[in-house]
Homo-oligomer: A and B are copies of this chain.
Amino acid sequence: MDGKNAVKVKSQHGASYENSSNTITQLATNTNKQEPITFVLVHGAWADASFWDNAAAELRKQGHTVHAPEYAGHGSLYNPAVKHEDIVKSIVDYITSKKLTNIALVGHSFGGTVIQKVAEQVPDRINRLVFFDAFVPLDGQSLSDQLPTELQKVFGQLAQQSGNGTIKLPFAVFRDGFVNTASESIAKSIYNKAKPEPGAPLVQKLDLKKFYSLNIPKSYLFLTSDIVTPQGDKYGFHPAQSSHLGQFRLILGEGDHMTTAFEQPGYLAQKLYEAARK
């Protein structure tokens, strides 16, 4: 450990940081134990609440309380005609019925748009919002508005082709775009579990005036190989989507959009903790 050697360092420079190295090093040792946090985890599209199973188990091992509620239209509540407000209601109802407070509210991908609207309704129950490779529409925008026009068109065509407004991604698109760092067999396994995603919530324009007036602290966790949106200043999850938040805590990690939650849940749990802690 680098930190340990720091104890022996004698400062040559007057009082200001004089004992700070020692103190800080001791603090580092003491704080290996994580402060317990109440997490509410909101999954994204082409997923259901079991997306969080592995990461939630790792967080619980560290002493955290973890809620990963299913929401309308997904998983056991599957419904192609679900609307964005139904999804938000699912999470708000879960939080209020369980009387949860001091929450770290985490949204992955599409879940970013959900926690924006949840925060508008129960702001006092939330300690920090964590956007994890998540969309952060500006006021009046939809998730779809965050994407390049060509991608918006592809999604629109897929929704029309399905006959019920849902979008099933071709495997080649999912494999290289959502699970690019996975082996082929794991990519297929994740793909085969994904139900066609209800399309309407992805194109709904969201009134986010209140969200952008809230003073809740925010973090953005970006896994650097995530290429669901084209990387770079214009469309990248970070810095394009993240920059909509104004001031936020940046936590970077390695991984792509979906593989990490399944294959490296301990690593993801650590990053979620770093994003969520005070």
Contact = CB atoms under 8 A, between A and B. Distances in A.
A193 interface: yes
Contacts of A35: 184
A: interface residue count bin: 35 or more
Given A20-B189, A21-B54, A193-B20, A251 B9 contact: no
A265 interface: yes
A94 interface: no
A24 B265 contact: no
Given A24-B263, A48-B13, A5 B57 contact: yes
Contacts of A227: 249-250
Given A17-B51, A24-B263, A239 B247 contact: no
A256 B217 CA distance: 18
Interface in A18-70: 18, 20-21, 23-25, 27-28, 30-31, 35, 47-51, 53-54, 57-58, 68, 70
A184 B75 CA distance: 37
Contacts of A262: 6, 20-21, 24-25
A82 interface: no
Contact of A247 (B53, B177, B250): B177
A250 to B, nearest CB: 4
A251 B181 contact: yes
Given A186-B27, A252-B225, A263-B28, A9 B57 contact: yes
Contacts of A140: none
Interface of A: 2-3, 5-6, 8-18, 20-21, 23-25, 27-28, 30-31, 35, 47-51, 53-54, 57-58, 68, 70, 75-76, 78, 172-173, 175-177, 180-181, 183-186, 189-190, 193, 195, 217, 219, 224-225, 227, 230-234, 236, 238-239, 243, 247-252, 254, 256, 262-267, 274, 277-278
Given A17-B53, A27-B186, A231-B250, 14 more contacts: A2-B58, A2-B265, A2-B266, A14-B70, A15-B76, A16-B48, A20-B189, A24-B190, A28-B263, A35-B184, A172-B217, A230-B243, A231-B238, A231-B239
